[in-house]
Structure 1
Amino acid sequence: MGEVRAGGEAAAQLSEAAQSELLELCEEQFAQLEKLQNEIILCGPDICASPQEQSVNRLLATDAELKQWLSVQPSLLAANSEILLEAGKDEMLKLCSDLEMVVSCCEAKRDKLRETKELEHKWLEEKKQVLLAANDHIERLRVEKEKYSEQNVFLDTKAKIKKMTVYQEKLMESLGDILEKHAPLPQDESSASRKKKNIPQEINEDLISLSEILEVLMNKVINTPHDPYITLDHTFWPPYVEMLLRYGIAARHKENNFKIRLETFF
């Protein structure tokens, strides 16, 4: 309807001679269209045995039509300048509408690219900040590495070992005090008390304390871990040895009952 209304408005602006000439051209085109339509109707349908033959025929027909259009010489729509002017105006309006649509699409694409550019710029700034932070961290580590040289590490380790040795000595002293208080060596008592308790008359004076037994066991494990057993002799008081074995502090050799070692506590 819009095209018909635009064509009517364009025809109203033309002179009578131009209108009559335009009408004659339209009648000629309609007559040619009717002729072609009648020829198509009268022409029988293309019946082929196989779809492949139909495709070949259509291809040949299309090729022939293309050659015909290429051989046709372009001609003017009409000789009247008023008709050509109106036709040119109509084509220019259509072209302007198409160009406006293209401009709108380009502007939308430009806005999208601008938004993408802003996001990429923001991402780049964040990565730059991360890179600066990483470089600062690397520089700080390098300075710390130069500050703590091998000599400093050696001195630090030596101080820690000394501290641990002092702490171990304090622990051993505390352990000795506790064992001396709660597990003292056997002492000579009166004959009446010994008879009452059925304790032998003679007590070996070479007996070592419980703390010394533990120290011997620990030193043996540390110095010779492949052979942690010690041999029991007359200096080891049997009740102490039995107490260590009973409470799981020491373990007896499987083949030799006179050898014990410190139990593994892990």
Structure 2
Amino acid sequence: MGEVRADRRAAGQLSEAAESELVQQCEEQFAQLEKLQNEIILCEPDICENHQEQSVSRLAATDAELKLWMSMQPSSLAANAEILLHAGKDEMLKLCSELEMVVSCCEAKRDKLRETKELEQKWLEEKKQVLLAANDHIERLRVEKEKYSEHNILLETKAKIQKMKAYQEQLMESLGDILEKHVPLPQDESTASKKKKNIPLKISEDLVSLSKILEVLMDKVMNTPHDPYVTIDHTFWPPYVEMLLRYGIAVRHQENNFKIRLETFF
């Protein structure tokens, strides 16, 4: 850039003869321009009422002048070599400055494209890794599918069902043990109470245990889900029913207090 400015300062210096010649040519061209302008003003027609015809005539004159200028060959105003060299240097320096700006813009755009390319390559590598992992997973599933036949899958399913049944039986046994230990049969409880307090309590022998009541409620829900209510009869001990209702294990029928069902836990 320093060289360009130095060249511009050097190009701005002309000899006195060249400078006077250039000034004289400028004055001649300005005088000729004033003469043509005066001729155009004198030749311009008066303003008429028909503006459309005036616009058409002006358009035709402009078109003719345009064709004339296009047919003319351009010629330099000055014949002095020093002036032409000065003008050429000035244009070249101006062009060099514009080209430097273009180069700067191109370099900035190149750096941006390079950064974008690096990001796109990184994204592409990540997608390739994901694709490889997916292909490996698919291949592993295919091998496993070939390894395990339908017979093996059936045997595995049956084993899982047996395991779940055994686990269910274990849970039911644990529930029965807990109920038997903490909530004994009404007959046992009444007998012990009668021995302690010496109060004669008469309890029906048809009463069922709490585990039996829960089993009846669960069977009713599983067998007839559209009508899960069970009618309370003399075999249901009222304290058991009250305990189930109080702790949210069972709920009463909205219209019939003698019907209960197991609470929905899902």
TM-score bracket relative to the smaller structure: 0.5 to 0.7
Distance 1:262 1:38 in 2: 113
Distance 2:182 2:24 in 1: 137
Aligned AA (1:250): A
Distance 1:245 1:77 in 2: 115
Instruction: Quote the sequence identity (%).
Output: 51
Matched with 1:112 is: 108
Scaled by the length of structure 2, the TM-score of the pair is 0.65
Aligned AA (2:93): S
Matched with 1:197 is: 199
1:10 to 2:6 alignment: no
Matched with 1:15 is: none
The structure-2 alpha-carbon separation of the partners of 1:208 and 1:98, relative to structure 1 and needing over 3 Å to count, comes to same
| Residues 28-47 of structure 1 mapped to structure 2, 5 A cutoff | 32=32, 35-36=35-36, 39=39, 46-47=46-47
The structure-2 alpha-carbon separation of the partners of 1:194 and 1:203, relative to structure 1 and needing over 3 Å to count, comes to farther
How far the C-alpha of 1:135 sits from its partner, in A, is 0.6
Conservation of the 8 A alpha-carbon contact between 2:217 and 2:230:
yes
| Residues 205-224 of structure 1 mapped to structure 2, 5 A cutoff | 207-224=207-224
How far the C-alpha of 1:138 sits from its partner, in A, is 1.0
Conservation of the 8 A alpha-carbon contact between 1:77 and 1:84:
no
Distance 1:145 1:73 in 2: 81
Distance 1:183 1:107 in 2: 94
Give structure 2 stretches of 5+ with no counterpart.
1-8
SS in 2 for 1:6: coil
Conservation of the 8 A alpha-carbon contact between 2:250 and 2:260:
yes
Aligned AA (2:221): V
**How many correspondences in the alignment?**
250
Distance 1:23 1:226 in 2: 112
Deviations 1:84-127 (CA, angstroms, capped at 9, x unpaired):
43344234324423432343243123313321331232122122
The structure-2 alpha-carbon separation of the partners of 1:178 and 1:153, relative to structure 1 and needing over 3 Å to count, comes to same
The structure-2 alpha-carbon separation of the partners of 1:154 and 1:107, relative to structure 1 and needing over 3 Å to count, comes to farther
Select the structure with the greater relative contact order (CA < 8 A; seq sep ≥ 6): 2
Scaled by the length of structure 1, the TM-score of the pair is 0.65
Give structure 1 stretches of 5+ with no counterpart.
13-18
Deviations 1:175-213 (CA, angstroms, capped at 9, x unpaired):
3223222322204849x869963523x742x54321122
SS in 1 for 2:14: helix
Q: Aligned-residue CA RMSD in angstroms? A: 4.6
How far the C-alpha of 1:231 sits from its partner, in A, is 5.3
Matched with 1:100 is: 96
Distance 2:228 2:155 in 1: 32
- Structure of greater Rg: 1
